[in-house]
Amino acid sequence: MNTSTIRIDVETDEKRLPSTIRWSATDSTAGGTQEARAMILSLWDGSEKAALRIDLWTREMMVDEMADFFYQTLMTMADTYGRATQHDELVSDMKDFARSFYKKFREKQLREHKA
């Protein structure tokens, strides 16, 4: 049996807000420690039937990057759900929502930049 290790290090400022997020994984092809501006970690607790989450982002994470991050995460979640369930119609619904979310974000950004 093989064991893989994922390590996440978060440096915080004096207010305990994340200033740096670094991660590494023993089976990663990236090699070495990588830096990230945001992360979402979800774990399923089968005995409690509950999702456990850690959501962190640094001050450097821009709003447009957050929208990209959420769009890509939603699309990836839809793909993962599809591989696990073969529920193609629900996958399509999830992806439609992600596209709608991103379109509305871009429209909002355009309105705000015109003002």
Query: In 3-state terms, what secondary structure has residue 105?
Result: helix
How high does pLDDT run on average in the chain? 96
pLDDT at 6 over 90: yes
pLDDT at 33 over 90: yes
Q: Dihedral (C-alpha) 74, 78, 81, 83: value to the nearest 10 degrees? A: -130
For residue 68, count other CB atoms closer than 10 A to its CB: 13
* Residue 56 contacts residue 18 (beta carbons within 8 Å): yes
pTM of the model: 0.89
pLDDT at 115 over 80: no
Question: What are the tens digits of pLDDT across the range 50-92?
Answer: 999 999 999 999 999 999 999 999 999 999 999 999 999 999 9
- The domain spans of the chain are 1-60, 62-115
Least Cα distance to 59 among 10, 113, 8, 114 occurs for 10
